[in-house]
Chains A and B, each alone.
Chain A
Amino acid sequence: MNHAAISVKGLKKSFKDKEVLKGVDFEVQRGEIFALLGSNGAGKTTTINILSTLMKPDGGEASICGFDVRRQPDHVRQSISLTGQFSSLDGMLTGRENLIMIAKLRGASNPAHVADDLLAKFNLVDAANRRADQYSGGMKRRLDIAMSLIGKPAVIFLDEPTTGLDPEARIEVWNTVKELAGSGTTILLTTQYLEEAEQLADRIAILHDGKIITTGTLSELKKMFPPAKVEYIEKQPTLEEIFLAIIAKKEEK
């Protein structure tokens, strides 16, 4: 059990003549929430695809809980759950049926029980018997993450969990992920939003142009880069704060 949850060394991957990963290194400890921060095309999804056995790397080493992704893909699949960039659920099925389906595929002994537990935990009881394609973006994402928790995988990949969501739904999803912290599950999430990494991650790695530029906790990164300055400025509310305040008022009425 002394293996890191995720260990990546010199990972390389090219598509045709485009080198997407140029030697990526990082390590994620068990129980950590680790954010891979980078802009579009930095290689985040490619990294996730390799770690989740969807793609084979061209070079380097990658292992999940000590299992090599290339040589022991079956063991890796026992230890992981992938939540892709789009909510990967069956829209024709209800939320409850989606959960039961995954529970059965994972060989749970009481699929209905597993589903009901998760519906309660993810605040989806009211929508349990509605078709998933009628859910809002935030609800879809929550169901998606709930599906990934079934079978208690050691490592969960969340590929851009809030891309395309409105600010409210984003906060919904953030709260969901925060609740998972401390449950012992290791989470690797990718994001292009600085704020998301700041909000959720224990440690952050910045992936840029196929390489990890730096890794550390938020406070470590803060120390490393532009030194703190003391400035006095009037703090205007951001548009996001205005939006959320208005919405909250409307709902009170």
Chain B
Amino acid sequence: MRSKTAVLLGRLMRNIMRSPDTIITVAITPIMMMLLFVYVFGGAIKTGTDNYVNYLLPGILLMAIASGVAYTSLRLFNDVKSGLMARFITMPIKRSSILWAHVLTSLVSNALTVLVVILIALLMGFRSGADILHWFAAAGILGLFTLALTWLAVIPGLTAKSMEGATAYSYPLIFLPFISSAFVPTETMPKIVRVFAENQPVTSIVNAIRALLYGGSIGNGIWIALAWCVGIMVIAYLFASKAFKRQLG
């Protein structure tokens, strides 16, 4: 099964490499956001830190991943539409390898996007004193977040009737960081907004990554972040599997 998944992964990665615009398009919006917030709004935002790029980066990365997974929906939708999916599922290969190839492709391509964004952030003054272990932990959380959103993205990819429908869900995901601690501290928000901001996944994940990269106290926050990622992943995986089974009749 592993070798068949590798063949399918190779095919999808080749697709991405032939249209590098997918990685650039995905990276460009978060980079523009970062430029806008650092050089336009940043001066007026009081975060209690002197390095606003550092403050911003975790949220920007989540935004990049949220827009990146939309391409997983799009690729799945295209496979279903073109009949390639029907060809694969009527071949003597493990059906789960077909979906896993898409999920792994999402992990790899999002990792590339995240790297590009981090490189730009470095140019803008992002600095971290974290050791390799803390970096691994931060990468792990980003990886889990990618997996969770990717499985979520599989559902519309398999079930959507149109291309727009396949990707529409990603807009609210991309904007979730705005109502969180990603750009500004939640303390200044009105009560209702603040309650939402402090109890939605982006805030806990952003706070956990900040703690890991900038040496804050890690505490319970990281477990809440992990619980969100794993929880979303498990539920999305169950629904995605169900959608896939239905796809097979």
Listed in ascending order, the chain A residues whose CB lies under 8 Å from chain B are 49, 52-56, 74, 77-78, 80-93, 97, 101-102, 104-106, 147
Contacts and interface: CB of A to CB of B under 8 A. Distances in A.
A49 B249 contact: yes
B90 A92 contact: no
Interface stretch (B13-21, B171-179, B188-196, B226-234): B13-21
B244 to A, nearest CB: 13
Contact of A105 (B4, B15, B18): B4
Contact of B86 (A54, A56, A93, A147): A54
A101 B249 CA distance: 25
Contacts of A89: 82, 84
* Residue with the highest number of chain B CB atoms closer than 10 Å, among A53, A84, A105, A106: A105
A84 B11 CA distance: 20
Contacts of A101: 7, 10-11
A101 B101 CA distance: 13
B18 A92 contact: yes
B7 A104 contact: yes
B83 A87 contact: yes
B11 A88 contact: no
B84 to A, nearest CB: 5
29 contacts: A49-B249, A54-B86, A54-B89, A54-B249, A55-B249, A56-B249, A77-B91, A78-B92, A82-B90, A86-B81, A87-B82, A87-B83, A88-B82, A88-B83, A88-B84, A89-B82, A90-B11, A90-B15, A92-B14, A92-B18, A93-B14, A101-B7, A102-B91, A104-B7, A105-B7, A105-B8, A105-B93, A106-B91, A106-B92
B32 interface: no
Given A55-B249, A93-B11, A86 B90 contact: no
B76 to A, nearest CB: 13
B90 A54 contact: yes
Nearest to A104: B7
B93 A97 contact: no
Interface in B14-33: 14-15, 18-19
Interface in B71-101: 81-84, 86-93
Nearest to B15: A92
Contacts of B11: 90, 93, 101
B248 interface: yes
Given A77-B90, A78-B92, A92-B14, A86 B82 contact: yes
Contacts of B88: 105
Contact of A84 (B14, B83, B92): B83
Contacts of B19: 92
Nearest to B94: A74
Contacts of B93: 105
Nearest to A147: B87
Given A53-B89, A86-B83, 4 more contacts: A54-B249, A88-B87, A101-B10, A102-B91
